Structure 1
Amino acid sequence: MITVLAILSLLFLLSACSALTSGEGGKLLVKTDYGNITKDDLYKEVISSERGKELIQKLVYMQILEGKYEVSDKEVNQQLDGMKEQAGDEDGFKAFLQQQGFKNEKELKDQIKQSIYFFKATTDGVKVTDKQINDYYEQNKDQYTEVRTSHILVDMESTAKEIEEELKKGTDFTELAKKQSTDKVSGAEGGDLGYLSGRSNELDPTFLAAALKLKKGEVSEPVKTMFGYHIIKVTDIKETPLSKVKDQIKQALMGKEAKPVQQILNKLNKEIEIREDAFKDVFKDVEPQQPKMPPQG
């Protein structure tokens, strides 16, 4: 029903207004043996439904935003490429589209484009300096640093200290991991866990913090987590340069200063001339919701 209504609504948007002014509201659109559909019928159906009102809002608001701002294909594709990278392979991206309710890539690109228009509207006038970007990068360096990490996991602190002493004597880390680590999966690979970063939210935060403090080739003291005691070694470090993430950081900082979307919509409402009473509630200003006060006492 929603799909049919959406199609009818779009048809209405293209033809109903001209019908109202030309006296052709009764013009026949669909004829069946059981009844007919006129432009007036279509108009009443759309304007009386919430879905129809939403489509009208979207059409009008986007028309205004597209007149005020520019969104390039490059901007859209940059966000799309980032989503594809996070999804992994082609099958992962298809699964992502399905989970988010998009029929295909084009629908996603349309949504991305609309979100960029609203981002530009809500951040219009927001200024971000190079110093702010540089400071953010330095303060969040772990988010842009990847460390290749190996570990030896044991149950007892005393065992971890014994392994620490063995390593100090020059015993090979890889061999100790294979022989003594209770993490048999990484142990079989000499303790290798691959590359980790500050974005690796699935890892124990204590382990991650300890790993990110190490220099290349450095080995940690025993680190206690819920899994036991770890001896951690960093075998490689890769840092993403500021130049590659400067735009991303700028967007994040601008987003922190963004105006509420409802405030922007209410502002756009003032630019809309409504000539039909039926549309008055469609573009009615709504006050932003105030945060609820906590219960007293």
Structure 2
Amino acid sequence: MIKIIKIAAVLSLLFLVGACSTLTSGEEPELLVTTEYGNISKDDLFKEVANSERGKELIQKLVYMQILKGKYEVSEKEVNQRLGEIKEQVGDEEAYTMFLQKQGFNNEEELKDHIEQSLYFFKATTEGVEVSDKQIKDYYEQHKDQYTEVRTSHILVDDESTAKEIEKELKNGADFAELAKKQSTDQVSAEEGGDLGYLSGRSQEMDPTFLAAAMKLKKGEVSEPVKTVFGYHIIKVTEIKETPLSDVKDQIKQALMSRDAKPVQEILNNLNKEIEIEEAAFKDAFKDVEPK
């Protein structure tokens, strides 16, 4: 049975509800601001909100979230888990602060509010979607590089002939770190014996050709010369860390569910069927969304 959500009831979440009643009852509007040049009432503010796109967006958010919160449950644990994943992906505290600013969040609470809303819509769009353990395991095996980190060193030179000479020296027992210090044109990593730290299949800042070659190597293995836009690399993997399936099972399940999720506009249009609009000013805010 569909429960009808009346817009007038939802507006009680805002101080605008006072304006709704005075507009229909003929009572004197409650004043918010008084000046010698004129006054501003709740009626004035209500009309301003009702006629602005931002106001309609605010009402949409309040109504849709009220319905979704009645249908689904999102725990604080789920929100904090997703927050932790974002922090891990972003990096240190400075990078996290930059991330918040870039995404338009004034603070972490705004980000958490956004995460909570996203999780409600995720549950709405993926309701009824089932993912088996076999599907999760298959995905993990097919995308193993995303869950594997390799500690990588390299020697970068300008031409292929020099790279082949270095390759020959390494095969004859030369020390990789010493050659990197002497011959690599990457001065930053050269000082560390060519060490670049840990990389994974998710390392977007790394050249894809270099990354693909590094991810194929076993521990202690050295590559043939690899050409990129920067020159020719001799790559060595010194450590390998694999994230076990158990640690990423939930993430993979969500990714697979998202793949079969319903379009958001379909969810919104279904929610619109549960809304009875008593305020004519907000009728446009709840029109059916056309698929793009």
**TM-score clears 0.5:** yes
Task: Give the secondary-structure state (helix, strand or coil) at the position aligned to 1:101.
Answer: coil
Change in 2 beyond 3 A, CA 1:178/1:90 = closer
Q: Does 1:55 align with 2:58?
A: yes
Query: Which residue does 1:293 correspond to in 2?
Result: none
One-letter amino acid matched to 1:51: R
Q: Does 1:285 align with 2:288?
A: yes
Query: Which residue does 2:171 correspond to in 1?
Result: 168
Task: Give the secondary-structure state (helix, strand or coil) at the position aligned to 1:194.
Answer: strand
Matches within 5 A, 1:100-119: 100-119=103-122
Deviation for aligned residue 1:50: 1.6
Structure 2 stretches lacking a partner, 5+ long: 1-11
Q: Does 1:136 align with 2:135?
A: no
Query: Which residue does 1:124 correspond to in 2?
Result: 127
Change in 2 beyond 3 A, CA 1:235/1:31 = same
Out of 198, 202, 221, the residue aligned to residue 199 of structure 1 is: 202
CA-to-aligned-CA distance 1:117-154 (integer Å, 9 cap, x gap) = 11111111111111111111111101111111112222
One-letter amino acid matched to 1:106: E
Out of 19, 30, 54, the residue aligned to residue 16 of structure 1 is: 19
Out of 227, 231, 246, the residue aligned to residue 224 of structure 1 is: 227
Rounded to whole Å, the distance in 2 between the matches of 1:146 and 1:34 is 67
CA-to-aligned-CA distance 1:212-247 (integer Å, 9 cap, x gap) = 111111111222222222221111100111111111
Q: Report how many aligned residue pairs link the two structures.
A: 282
Rounded to whole Å, the distance in 2 between the matches of 1:85 and 1:218 is 29
One-letter amino acid matched to 1:57: Q
Query: Which residue does 1:90 correspond to in 2?
Result: 93
> Percent of aligned pairs with the same residue?
79
Rounded to whole Å, the distance in 1 between the matches of 2:183 and 2:43 is 80
Rounded to whole Å, the distance in 1 between the matches of 2:201 and 2:52 is 47
Structure 1 stretches lacking a partner, 5+ long: 1-8, 290-297
Out of 177, 180, 190, the residue aligned to residue 180 of structure 2 is: 177
Change in 2 beyond 3 A, CA 1:229/1:273 = same
One-letter amino acid matched to 1:67: G
Rounded to whole Å, the distance in 1 between the matches of 2:265 and 2:190 is 54
Q: After the TM superposition, which of the residue ranges 278-287 and 51-60 deviates more from structure 2?
A: 278-287
Deviation for aligned residue 1:20: 5.0
One-letter amino acid matched to 1:161: K
Q: Does 1:79 align with 2:111?
A: no
Query: Which residue does 2:150 correspond to in 1?
Result: 147
Query: Which residue does 1:188 correspond to in 2?
Result: 191
Rounded to whole Å, the distance in 2 between the matches of 1:38 and 1:13 is 10
Deviation for aligned residue 1:10: 7.2
Rounded to whole Å, the distance in 1 between the matches of 2:13 and 2:103 is 23
Task: Give the secondary-structure state (helix, strand or coil) at the position aligned to 1:171.
Answer: coil
Structure 2 length-normalised TM? 0.89
Rounded to whole Å, the distance in 1 between the matches of 2:164 and 2:30 is 88
The answer as to whether partners of 1:144 and 1:239 remain within 8 angstroms in 2 is: yes
Rounded to whole Å, the distance in 2 between the matches of 1:234 and 1:221 is 13
